[in-house]
Amino acid sequence: MLQKTSHFMRQANFIDGAWVKADSGQTIDVVNPANGQTIGTVPRAGTAETRRAIEAADVAFRSWKRTSADHRAKLLRKLHDAIMDNQDALAELLVMEQGKSLAEAKGEVGMSAAYILWYAEEGRRVYGDVVPSPWADRRILVTKEPVGVIGAITPWNFPSSMLARKLGPALASGCTAVAKPASQTPYSGLAWGVLCEEAGFPKGVVNIVTGAASEIGDELCENPLVRKITFTGSTEVGKTLIKKTAGTVKKVSMELGGNAPFIVFDDADIDRAVEGAIAAKYRNSGQTCVCTNRFFVQAGIYDTFVEKLSAAAEKLKVGSGLEEGTQQGPLIDEKAIEKVEELIADATSKGAKVTAGGARHPLGGSFFQPTVISNATPDMRFMQEEIFGPVAPVFRFETEEEAINLANDTVFGLACYFYTGDLGRAFRVMEGLKYGLVGVNEGIITTVEAPFGGLKESGLGKEGGHQGIEDYLDTKYVCIGGLGL
Ligand code: NAP
């Protein structure tokens, strides 16, 4: 059914099928980053509310795990249809709290629906094995079962789709969930409660709690009823959560920070590379984990690439996400702007040159100009630090080996991109890059059909693809003896 945006904007938590306030009555303000105005509030829940949500999810798990995969798939398809019927309203809500352009927000909501549909189908293909037995009178079965209650913690940059990648496989496999959305963008997370309720999921199967991150996080990590933590966010918080889950030996999936390199070789199609660079850098104002953090361009085409990228960046339309034609919205907050300014100041003090943008946008608030920086060198902070803003530092290199070494010189290993017209080089470079996602002559590669996930300090586990459901399953070996054969 078609609903208004306000229908999805719940200022309450969803626990055991009821919409509730925090025990303390305390709330958190939610601010629109495009104008600094408060849109509304959400409960500031803590340990007690989280524990109740976990207990509700545990009770719900006992019956939910016994439902058939076909039944769960039907409910997930209803959920998919509810999202797509309300794509515009959900996208508008997302823009209001997150700031991205309406076109990008619609894309994100569409992606959320696509994850749900994908896992509706994958849940019906959770196959076990019948293994040839070494004993004549025994048979060996290997079965897959849902892990139980899962705790899901998500970031503010993709508040809808990051939860879709977790709820989809969890619900399809027969798990129940307690989710904690980011405090800056809680409404797109709470909207999942509205959608699941209306699609007909039983009470307690999905619970959404907002509030004090460390209290909610600690309870999710330490409560023995929770059997898996799935987290998307910074590497720093991810490491803390891994440590905290050790006490109860939970499964963990971690989608953490990135430091994506984008390499352009002399033999590349430069215009195609510039087009890919714009998409891979300025999407969501540079605030994605797979956004390019470092451009490495071969000496022979360096000046041309910088010139074309700067011209393309300057053409991007900056504005409120809800305005027609906006390509880049505001950054999430003042802190994000200050970080970008610090990184630019560090680079220019070490000899870098600003060739596009470089300053706050005349619109004020947290709007920043799409920026290109040439003469970047490895001693500058963005060589190692995630920028998370619309700044494109361009480094120069001479040889293929040098480019691979520079690209790999980071603790992160999420996404990387490179452009070349040489097939042999494409394979050499692809095999040389220590990254979980590789775009060859493409700047946007995420899709529900493929496994998404980082290497090194960018994370553990995969989301999407047929691999994405594995982390929600326990494997059990069953030996049936005494068959008298
Ligand atoms: P963040 O600060 O790590 O926060 C992510 C989530 O963790 C939020 O819900 C936050 O809650 C919560 N949190 C913070 N401290 C916590 C604690 N001590 N215990 C439990 N939960 C805690 O990250 P962010 O700034 O929102 O997101 C940006 C980061 O996410 C970037 O590093 C980006 O690369 C990464 N990211 C990775 C992927 C991927 O798939 N690999 C995708 C998107 C983003 P509050 O909001 O209440 O503080």
Q: Which of 175, 196, 221, 289 is catalytic?
A: 289
Instruction: Name the band, by pLDDT with cuts 50, 70 and 90, for residue 149.
Output: very high
Identity of residue 477: Y
**Which ligand 1 atom sits nearest the alpha carbon of residue 211?**
47
| Distance of CA 231 from the midpoint of ligand 1 (Å) | 8
Arithmetic mean of pLDDT, 253-280? 98
Q: What whole-number distance in Å separates Cα of residue 244 and Cα of residue 431?
A: 35
Q: Which tokens belong to 483? A: 């068959």
- The residue whose CB lies within 8 Å of the most ligand 1 atoms, and thus the one to mutate among 31, 104, 111, 153, is 153
The beta-carbon contacts of 425-429 under 8 Å, at least 24 apart in sequence, are 425/265, 425/267, 425/400, 428/400, 429/263, 429/400, 429/403, 429/404
Nearest residue (by CA) to ligand 1, atom 13, is: 213
How is residue 208 annotated by DSSP? Answer: E
**Which ligand 1 atom sits nearest the alpha carbon of residue 212?**
47
Arithmetic mean of pLDDT, 283-288? 97
| Distance of CA 1 from the midpoint of ligand 1 (Å) | 32
| Distance of CA 429 from the midpoint of ligand 1 (Å) | 31
Chain segment 445-471, per-residue pLDDT in tens: 999 999 999 999 999 999 999 999 999
What is the phi-psi region of residue 459: left when phi exceeds 0, alpha when psi lies from -120 to 50, beta otherwise?
Answer: left
| Distance of CA 255 from the midpoint of ligand 1 (Å) | 9
* 255 assigned to active site: yes
Nearest residue (by CA) to ligand 1, atom 17, is: 214
Inform me whether the pLDDT recorded for 304 exceeds 80.
yes
The answer to whether 126 touches 473, Cβ cutoff 8 Å, is yes
Query: CA quadruple 115, 446, 460, 340: dihedral positive or negative?
Result: negative
| Distance of CA 214 from the midpoint of ligand 1 (Å) | 12
Chain segment 153-212, per-residue pLDDT in tens: 999 999 999 999 999 999 999 999 999 999 999 999 999 999 999 999 999 999 999 999
**Which ligand 1 atom sits nearest the alpha carbon of residue 158?**
43
Arithmetic mean of pLDDT, 72-79? 98
Helices in 316-422 by DSSP H: which ranges? 334-349, 400-408
Q: Is 216 helix (H, G, I), strand (E, B) or coil?
A: helix
| Distance of CA 373 from the midpoint of ligand 1 (Å) | 27
Inform me whether the pLDDT recorded for 1 exceeds 80.
no
Q: What whole-number distance in Å separates Cα of residue 321 and Cα of residue 469?
A: 33
**Which ligand 1 atom sits nearest the alpha carbon of residue 216?**
20
Instruction: Name the band, by pLDDT with cuts 50, 70 and 90, for residue 362.
Output: very high
- The residue whose CB lies within 8 Å of the most ligand 1 atoms, and thus the one to mutate among 222, 289, 388, is 289
Residues 6+ apart with CB under 8 A from 107: none
Nearest residue (by CA) to ligand 1, atom 35, is: 233
pLDDT value at residue 349: 98
Instruction: Name the band, by pLDDT with cuts 50, 70 and 90, for residue 388.
Output: very high
| Distance of CA 46 from the midpoint of ligand 1 (Å) | 17
Enumerate the β-bridge partners of residue 455: 413
The answer to whether 119 touches 125, Cβ cutoff 8 Å, is no
Q: Find the residues whose C-beta lies inside 6 A of ligand 1.
A: 153-158, 162, 180, 182-184, 213-214, 217, 232-234, 237, 240, 255-258, 289, 386, 414, 454, 459
Burial class of residue 139 in the structure, from the number of CB atoms within 10 Å of its CB (0-12 exposed, 13-18 middle, 19+ buried): middle
- Round the CA-based radius of gyration of the chain to a whole number and report it: 23
pLDDT value at residue 485: 84
Edge-to-edge strands of the sheet including 415-419?
353-356, 371-376, 391-397, 292-298, 260-264, 415-419, 437-440
Closest CA to 261 of 391, 435, 424, 398: 435
**Which ligand 1 atom sits nearest the alpha carbon of residue 217?**
20
How is residue 252 annotated by DSSP? Answer: E
Q: Is 372 helix (H, G, I), strand (E, B) or coil?
A: strand
Identify the residue whose tokens are 């963008």.
185
Crossing angle between the packed helical segments 213-222 and 235-245, to the nearest 10 degrees: 40
Give the number of residues written for the chain. 485
pLDDT value at residue 28: 98
Enumerate the β-bridge partners of residue 208: 14, 179
Q: What whole-number distance in Å separates Cα of residue 207 and Cα of residue 264?
A: 45
Q: How many CB atoms lie within 10 A of CB 303?
A: 12
* 431 assigned to active site: no
**Which ligand 1 atom sits nearest the alpha carbon of residue 289?**
34
- The residue whose CB lies within 8 Å of the most ligand 1 atoms, and thus the one to mutate among 47, 215, 221, 234, is 234
Closest CA to 160 of 368, 33, 36, 8: 8
Q: What is the dihedral of CA 375, 380, 384, 386, to 10 degrees?
A: -80
Closest CA to 161 of 216, 105, 199: 105
Nearest residue (by CA) to ligand 1, atom 6, is: 155
How is residue 301 annotated by DSSP? Answer: G
**Which ligand 1 atom sits nearest the alpha carbon of residue 244?**
19
Arithmetic mean of pLDDT, 291-305? 98
Nearest residue (by CA) to ligand 1, atom 26, is: 155
| Distance of CA 337 from the midpoint of ligand 1 (Å) | 18
Residues 6+ apart with CB under 8 A from 159: 94, 97, 98, 181, 182, 185, 186, 187, 188, 189
How is residue 318 annotated by DSSP? Answer: B
- The residue whose CB lies within 8 Å of the most ligand 1 atoms, and thus the one to mutate among 178, 222, 256, is 256
Nearest residue (by CA) to ligand 1, atom 48, is: 213
pLDDT value at residue 269: 98
| Distance of CA 264 from the midpoint of ligand 1 (Å) | 31
Task: Indicate whether this model's pTM tops 0.95.
Answer: yes
Arithmetic mean of pLDDT, 65-84? 98
Identity of residue 249: V
**Which ligand 1 atom sits nearest the alpha carbon of residue 181?**
9
Nearest residue (by CA) to ligand 1, atom 15, is: 213
Q: Which of 92, 197, 219, 255 is catalytic?
A: 255
| Distance of CA 163 from the midpoint of ligand 1 (Å) | 12
